[in-house]
Amino acid sequence: MQKVCVITGGSSGIGLSIAHLFHQNNYLVFNLDLSPSEVGVFKACDISDTQQVEQIITNIAKEHTINVLISNAGVHFSGTIENTTEEDFDKVFSINVKGAYAAIKAALPSMKDVNEGAIILMASDQALIAKQNSFAYNLSKASLASMAKTTALDYAQYNIRANAVCPGTIETPLYHKAIDNYCEKSGADKTQVHQEEAALQPLNRLGKPEEVAELVYFLASDKAKFITGSLQVIDGGYTAQ
């Protein structure tokens, strides 16, 4: 029987690379996103709307066993605690944290029915370390790391594994948007900023979405059957410094 992978935010960047890889390995991929994608079965969804997320995943589960859930949808926001408005804070958490909460909650019954499942949350190196000017985003990614750990412990009895992937600086549309916003506010040169970001990494380059996708696919596979509740860092050595 064909295995099923549900992913949120699978239409661009890391999510698109993940969707491609699972599709290439004969998974039936359901992609919950606002933007359409040619990969898998597209389900238009506002990830910040928990009822919408739960309804779509519940409907998928009525016809398919959900083998893998990848909570990847996320939004970036730069700011200290003083210049993060309550509206900014709510937007970051409604997508990055509440969206993950709704997706996991909706997928668990299907996994419990077959006593098996893999859940992967897309956290960040900021789940492990702090970065300047990143109050709300940093906090949201630390929350996802906690969510992976608690879910792993609560559902180990059902043979359901939960892990968080913690990418460092990966060259994605989200990365470029963040750099563009920074350059617009500061007047910095984008080419120079990009080079400086690469130089900050011990491997002297940014990560690729395809590399993160390979790690996610491994964690979903039987080769990772004894891995749960972990934070899997893929950051070119940045957090080892």
Annotated active-site positions, please? Answer: 137
Measure Cα distances from 202 to 12, 207, 215, 219, 239 in Å: 26, 11, 19, 25, 10
Cβ-contact 37, 15 below 8 angstroms:
no
Cβ-contact 68, 120 below 8 angstroms:
yes
Which residues, 6+ apart, have CB-to-CB distance to 71 below 8 Å? 8, 99, 100, 103, 104, 119, 120, 121, 122, 144
Of 117, 118, 135, residue with least CA distance to 126: 135
Question: Are β-strands 117-122 and 160-167 bridged in parallel, bridged antiparallel, or unpaired?
Answer: parallel
**232 DSSP 8-state letter:** E
